Chain A
Amino acid sequence: MSTDRLLEFDDVVSRYEPVFGLETHVELGTASKMFCGCATTFGAEPNTQTCPVCLALPGALPVANAAAIEATIRIGLALGCRIATWCRFARKNYFYPDIPKGFQTSQYDEPLCTAGHLDVEVDGETYRVEIERVHLEEDTGKNLHVGGATGRIHGADHSLVDFNRAGIPLVEIVTRPVAGVGAKAPEVARAYVAELREILLALGVSEVRMERGNLRCDVNTSLAPTGSLEWGTRTETKNVNSLRSVERSVRYEMRRQAALLDDGERILQETRHFHEDTGSTSAGRSKEEATDYRYFPEPDLVPMAPDTDWVEQLRADLPELPAARRARLREEWGLSDTEMAWLVNAGALGLVSDTVAAGADPADARKWWLGELSRRAKDAGVELGDLAVTPAQVAELTQLVAEGTVNDQLARQVLDGVLAGEGSPRQVVDSRGLAVMGDSDELGAAVDAAIAGAPDVVEKVRGGKTAALGALVGAVMKETRGKADAATVRRMLEERVLGG
C-alpha cells in the first residue's frame, strides 16, 4: 500500500551516487545466555528459559559469558579488526516491556573490535567493505501483541512478553559507509551480508538462520547528486531479515529518495520499516524525536581485558575462511570463476565439498547438487541444506551409478526413497529392488516376450530397418519398469533378432 513515487533504477544511478552502510546483529550460538546460565534453545515454550538475572528481578546481577566474548573476538579477527586490550560494557537506557532491566547491556564508545574490512565479489569485481566496529550486547525479549489484526501493537487488546530470547548474546557488526559503487550498491550490500554469513558459519559462532532471526540487518541508505562532495541525508531501514531483502531495501530506498530529490524535497533522517511482501519501506520513528539512551559504563560488570597472547592464539586457530576456501576448491576442482559463482550462489559449496570429502567425484557431486537436488529443494520450497539427504548419502548414490548398480533413472528413484526416510541409498536399492538387471534369465524372458509380441517390428528389423529396434527396447524397458540397462537390452535384442 505504499504510495511512494519511485524513480526508475537506471535513472537513479545515472544522476545520483548512493552510499549505504549496514548494522548487522548476529545471535551467537552459545549454549547459555550472555549474562546468566539460562539455555538458548530455539522454539522452547515461552518464558521457560529464564532466571532472576534475565528477568531482571530486583537484586540480580549479570556475569559475562566468556564463550561469547571469545566468539566476538574471533569474528573481529576474521574481519581483520583491531582487538581492544581493555574495554567495557555500557548501559543503553530506555523503557520497553521486552527489555526487562530498563536498559540493554551493550557497548558504546569502547567496542571489543574496531577497524576491519571484508572483501566481497560481485560479477567478478572485488569491493572492499570497511568494518567500523564489532561489539557485544544482549538480545531483547519478544513482544506478542494479541487481539489486533496485524500482530502489531496498534489495535491489539493486550500484549504478552516472552523472555526466552532476552539476554541471548548478540554481536553487532557495523560497516563504515560504502560509497562509490554506483549501480552495484544493492548487490554489494547483499554480497556483504552473504559473505559475512559464510564467515560466521565457518567460525561456527552462530547458526546464522535468518528466518529465525539469528542474523538481522539495519540498512542505512543515502543519495547525493553525482559529483557532489557531500553525502545526502540517510534513512535507516530496520530489521531486514533476508539476503534478498537487503538488496531490495537498498534498491527501493535509492528509487524513493531519488524521486523525492528530483522533486526538490528533503530526505528525512528517520528509521523505516521494510515490508517483505511488497519490497517497500515505510516511515517509522523520526530521528528528530529520538531517545536519549544515556549511555554510561556498566558498573555491574568488570572491564574486559583480553590477554594479547590469548588473542594471538585465537588468531592462529581461526579456520580456513570462505574466500580462501573457495579459491582452493576452485583450483582443486578445476572450475571456472562462473562455475564457482553458481555453486556459491546456490548455497551448495559446502554440500558439494562435503560430498567430495565423502568420496564422490567433484563433477558428479556438483551435478547432483546443482541439478536434481536443487530441483527437489525448489519444489519443496526449502533450502538445499535442509533436504533430508546428507552429503555422504549423495556420495553413495554417485558410487552406485558409477559401479553400474543403478542408472540415472533408477538413481532418482533411490533418491525418492532416501528423502522419504527409507535409509541409505544402498538400503533403498535393496528394499525397493531398484538394481539394474544384468543379462539374466529374467531379462532374457522379457526380451523374448517383446520379440514374440511384435512380429511385424522383428520383420522390419530383419529387413534392414534397424532403427525399428528402438520400439522393442522400449517395450522391454517398460516391462522391466526401467530397471534394465538399455544398452544391455539392445545388445540382447540384436543377438536374438539378427544374430540367430
Chain B
Amino acid sequence: MSAELTRLDVTALQAALAGGETSAVEVTRAHLDAIEATDGALNSYLHVDGETALATAAEVDRRRAAGEELGRLAGVPVALKDVVVTDGVPTTSGSRILEGWRPPYDATVAARLKAAGTVLLGKTNMDEFAMGSSTENSAYGPTRNPWDHDRIPGGSSGGSSAAVAGFLAPWAIGTDTGGSIRQPAAVTGLVGHKPTYGSVSRYGLIAFSSSLDQAGPMARTVADAALMHEVIGGHDPRDSTSIDAPAAPYVAAAQQGAQGDLTGTVVGVVRELGGEGHAGGYEPGVLEAFRTGVDQLRALGAEVREVSCPSFDLALAAYYLIAPSEASSNLSRFDGVRYGLRVGDDGSRDLDEVMALTREQGFGPEVKRRIILGTYALSAGYYEAYYGQAQKVRTLIGRDFLTAFGDGVDVLVSPTSPSVAFPIGQRVDDPLAMYAADLCTLPASLAGLPAISVPCGLSEGLPVGLQVMAPALADDRCYRVGAALEAAQDAARGGTFLGQLAARA
C-alpha cells in the first residue's frame, strides 16, 4: 500500500482519504518513508520534519474521526520550495547566507495551504535565490532528475520537480521568475503553471525579481495544478501587486478540457519559439514531441495557426537586465545585521568590512554575477541604456501578445524549453548556455501572463513539455487546453505520463 500511496495524484488521494481507505498519517508516513529511502540520491529536500508532519496528519485524522469540519485539502501532503517563508521552519532560499534562519511568520501561500489542511513534508532544494535553470546553483548541492540521476531536474524549482516526479510528494509549490516552474516541470514530466502576475500573493516569497516572481503549482496532473492554484490564489491585502478579482474556477476549466473537445479554440504556434527560421538551439526531439502535441490539439478540434511575435527574440536580453537589476536591490537586505550569516564580526573589522565579508562568503557565484550585472545596469549614466531599454522591450513583448490575442487567438503554444534535461555539470561554466534554457518561458514572464507546461512526449527517453500561454487573468484557458492535451496523451499512451517512470523503477 505504501508505495501505491506515493503514486496517487491528489485527486485520487483526496478520494482515498475521504472514503476512509487510508489515513493522513498513513499517507504522510508513506511519503516520509520514500524520502528516507530515495532522497539521499535525489537531494530534493533541504529540510524534512517528519515528526511535525506526522503530528499534523494525526490531528487531521482525529478531526475527521470526530466529524469536525475539515479543510479542502485535509491530510494531503505538500512540499514547498525553500523560497517560501514558513513560520518556525528553516528557510534558506538555497543560500548559505540564510543558513539556520527560522522565520517568525508564514508566507500567504504557506498560510493558505496550512489553512486548507495540508501536511507540510518539507522544504525543497532550489537554485540559490531562484537564480538558475538546473538547481546546480544551490549552496546545498545539486538535485538529481528522477528520470536520470546524471541529469538536472531543471530549475530553479528543481527540488520541487524532483520530489514530485520522484514520488516524494504528491505536489509542490514552485516559483517562476523566468521559467522556474515551467522548465523544471517540463524536464521531469510534470504539469507546472505560472499564474498571471498578481494572481497569487508574493507575500513571504523571498524576492528575486519583484515584477516577475510568481508562485504556482507543480503537480502530476492538470486538475491537481488547478486545484492548488484555487487554494493559494486570490487577493491578498499584504501584497500591493495582488489583483483584487475573484479567482476563476480553474478546476472546472480543467475538467471541461479533459472532455477532449477544443472545437472553436484557436491555438497560435509562436514562430519565434522554435518555428521556421528560429529553430537554432532547439533539439530535434523536442521539436518533434512539440509538433505531435500540436497535432493532438488539432485533432481535438482546435484551429491551429502560426503567429509571429517578433519582439520575443529580445526577451532573453531584456530579462537578463530587468531581473538582475531588481535582484541587486532585493538582495541588499542580506547584510548580516538582522538575521542569517554574519562573517568577520570579531571586533577588528568595521561595519563595511563585515557586510562585505558576509556577502562575499554568503552568496554563491551566480548570485554575485547577477548582483554585479544589476548594479551596473541601474548605475547613473547606464540606466537608460540598459534598464530603460529593457523596460521598453518589455512593453513591446506585451504588445506582441496583445496583437496575437486581439487577432482571435485564444492561446499561444511553444515548447517549454529548447532541450530535455541536460547532464549535471554540462552548462555550469557557460552561463549563456544555461540562460538559453529559459528562452521559451521568458516572454510570458515579462508580460505577466499565465503559462502552463504540460508533458507532450519523450525525446531520447526524457520528458518534453508543451507550453500554453493565455491572456492576463485567463489562467483557466491554460488549464482547459492543458487538460485536453493531457487527456489525449494519456489515451494514446494508455496511462499517465509519470506511469512510464514508475514502470521503469
Residues of A in contact with B (beta carbons under 8 Å apart): 52, 55-64, 91, 93, 95, 97, 100-103, 153, 159, 161, 292, 294-296, 299-302
Whole-angstrom distance between the alpha carbons of A404 and B442 in the complex? Answer: 87
Q: Which residues of A contact B209 (CB under 8 A)?
A: 299
- Is B379 touching A292 in the complex (CB atoms < 8 A)? yes
Distance (Å) between the CB of B202 and the closest chain A CB?
6
Q: Which residues of B contact A103 (CB under 8 A)?
A: 329, 332
| Interface flag for B267 (CB, 8 Å) | no
Whole-angstrom distance between the alpha carbons of A207 and B316 in the complex? Answer: 51
Distance (Å) between the CB of A63 and the closest chain B CB?
5
Whole-angstrom distance between the alpha carbons of A153 and B351 in the complex? Answer: 10
> Could you tell me the dominant secondary structure of chain B's interface residues?
loop
Whole-angstrom distance between the alpha carbons of A100 and B205 in the complex? Answer: 17
Whole-angstrom distance between the alpha carbons of A62 and B202 in the complex? Answer: 11
| Interface flag for B355 (CB, 8 Å) | yes
| Interface flag for B387 (CB, 8 Å) | yes
Given A57-B104, A58-B98, A59-B205, A301 and B379 touching (CB < 8 A)?
Answer: no
Residues of B in contact with A (beta carbons under 8 Å apart): 84-85, 91, 93, 98, 101, 103-105, 107, 202-207, 209-211, 237-241, 325-326, 328-329, 331-335, 337-339, 351-352, 355, 375, 378-380, 383, 387
- Chain A residue nearest to B239 in the complex (CB): A61
> Could you tell me the dominant secondary structure of chain A's interface residues?
loop
- Contact with B329, one of A97, A102, A153, A302 (Cβ below 8 angstroms): A102
Whole-angstrom distance between the alpha carbons of A491 and B85 in the complex? Answer: 89
- Chain B residue nearest to A158 in the complex (CB): B347
Q: What are some 11 contacts across the A-B interface (CB < 8 A)?
A: A55-B338, A57-B104, A57-B105, A58-B339, A59-B205, A59-B206, A63-B237, A93-B332, A97-B335, A296-B325, A300-B207
Distance (Å) between the CB of A99 and the closest chain B CB?
9
- Is B329 touching A58 in the complex (CB atoms < 8 A)? no
- Is A300 touching B378 in the complex (CB atoms < 8 A)? no
- Is A302 touching B241 in the complex (CB atoms < 8 A)? yes
- Chain B residue nearest to A89 in the complex (CB): B240
- Besides A58-B339, A295-B378, 7 more A-B contacts (Cβ < 8 Å) are A58-B91, A61-B240, A91-B329, A103-B329, A159-B351, A294-B380, A299-B211
Given A95-B332, A102-B332, A103-B332, A294 and B379 touching (CB < 8 A)?
Answer: yes
Q: Which residues of A contact B205 (CB under 8 A)?
A: 59
Q: Which residues of B contact A64 (CB under 8 A)?
A: 240
Distance (Å) between the CB of A64 and the closest chain B CB?
7
Whole-angstrom distance between the alpha carbons of A60 and B202 in the complex? Answer: 9
- Is B103 touching A57 in the complex (CB atoms < 8 A)? yes
Whole-angstrom distance between the alpha carbons of A97 and B351 in the complex? Answer: 9
Distance (Å) between the CB of B198 and the closest chain A CB?
9
- Is A294 touching B375 in the complex (CB atoms < 8 A)? yes
- Is B203 touching A61 in the complex (CB atoms < 8 A)? yes
- Is B329 touching A62 in the complex (CB atoms < 8 A)? no
- Is A296 touching B98 in the complex (CB atoms < 8 A)? no
Q: Which residues of A contact B104 (CB under 8 A)?
A: 52, 57
- Chain B residue nearest to A93 in the complex (CB): B329
Q: Which residues of B contact A95 (CB under 8 A)?
A: 332, 335, 352, 355
- Is A100 touching B240 in the complex (CB atoms < 8 A)? no
Q: Which residues of A contact B387 (CB under 8 A)?
A: 296
Given A59-B85, A95-B355, A52 and B333 touching (CB < 8 A)?
Answer: no
Q: Which residues of A contact B203 (CB under 8 A)?
A: 59-61
Q: Which residues of A contact B378 (CB under 8 A)?
A: 93, 294-296
- Chain A residue nearest to B203 in the complex (CB): A61
Q: Which residues of B contact A301 (CB under 8 A)?
A: 240-241
Given A57-B104, A60-B204, A299 and B338 touching (CB < 8 A)?
Answer: no
Given A64-B240, A97-B337, A58 and B332 touching (CB < 8 A)?
Answer: no
Q: Which residues of A contact B338 (CB under 8 A)?
A: 55-57, 100
Whole-angstrom distance between the alpha carbons of A169 and B67 in the complex? Answer: 49
Identify the interface centre among A58, A102, A159, A299: most chain B CB within 10 Å of its CB: A58
- Is A296 touching B85 in the complex (CB atoms < 8 A)? no
Distance (Å) between the CB of A92 and the closest chain B CB?
10
Q: Which residues of B contact A56 (CB under 8 A)?
A: 333, 338
Given A95-B332, A296-B329, A52 and B383 touching (CB < 8 A)?
Answer: no
Given A58-B98, A64-B240, A299 and B210 touching (CB < 8 A)?
Answer: yes
Whole-angstrom distance between the alpha carbons of A55 and B105 in the complex? Answer: 12
- Chain A residue nearest to B213 in the complex (CB): A299
Q: Which residues of A contact B352 (CB under 8 A)?
A: 95
Q: Which residues of A contact B375 (CB under 8 A)?
A: 294
- Is A300 touching B339 in the complex (CB atoms < 8 A)? no
- Chain B residue nearest to A290 in the complex (CB): B380
Identify the interface centre among A52, A55, A57, A91: most chain B CB within 10 Å of its CB: A57
- Is A296 touching B204 in the complex (CB atoms < 8 A)? no
- Which are the 4 A-B pairs with shortest beta-carbon distances? A102-B332, A299-B210, A294-B378, A299-B211
Whole-angstrom distance between the alpha carbons of A61 and B210 in the complex? Answer: 10
- Chain B residue nearest to A294 in the complex (CB): B378
- Is B93 touching A58 in the complex (CB atoms < 8 A)? yes
Whole-angstrom distance between the alpha carbons of A435 and B144 in the complex? Answer: 95
Distance (Å) between the CB of A172 and the closest chain B CB?
20
Q: Which residues of A contact B334 (CB under 8 A)?
A: 58, 102
- Is A101 touching B103 in the complex (CB atoms < 8 A)? no
Distance (Å) between the CB of B190 and the closest chain A CB?
25
- Is A59 touching B241 in the complex (CB atoms < 8 A)? no
- Chain A residue nearest to B105 in the complex (CB): A52
Whole-angstrom distance between the alpha carbons of A458 and B290 in the complex? Answer: 128
- Chain A residue nearest to B356 in the complex (CB): A95
Whole-angstrom distance between the alpha carbons of A52 and B104 in the complex? Answer: 8
Distance (Å) between the CB of B363 and the closest chain A CB?
13
- Is B329 touching A57 in the complex (CB atoms < 8 A)? no
- Is A63 touching B333 in the complex (CB atoms < 8 A)? no
Whole-angstrom distance between the alpha carbons of A301 and B240 in the complex? Answer: 5
Distance (Å) between the CB of B146 and the closest chain A CB?
29
Given A292-B379, A296-B325, A63 and B240 touching (CB < 8 A)?
Answer: yes
Whole-angstrom distance between the alpha carbons of A292 and B378 in the complex? Answer: 9
- Chain A residue nearest to B92 in the complex (CB): A58
- Is A59 touching B204 in the complex (CB atoms < 8 A)? yes
Distance (Å) between the CB of A102 and the closest chain B CB?
2
Q: Which residues of B contact A102 (CB under 8 A)?
A: 329, 331-335
Whole-angstrom distance between the alpha carbons of A296 and B330 in the complex? Answer: 12
Distance (Å) between the CB of B235 and the closest chain A CB?
12
Whole-angstrom distance between the alpha carbons of A159 and B352 in the complex? Answer: 13
Q: Which residues of A contact B211 (CB under 8 A)?
A: 299
Q: Which residues of B contact A295 (CB under 8 A)?
A: 378
- Is B103 touching A302 in the complex (CB atoms < 8 A)? no
Q: Which residues of A contact B379 (CB under 8 A)?
A: 292, 294
- Is A101 touching B332 in the complex (CB atoms < 8 A)? yes
Whole-angstrom distance between the alpha carbons of A300 and B236 in the complex? Answer: 13
Q: Which residues of A contact B239 (CB under 8 A)?
A: 61, 63
- Is A63 touching B238 in the complex (CB atoms < 8 A)? yes
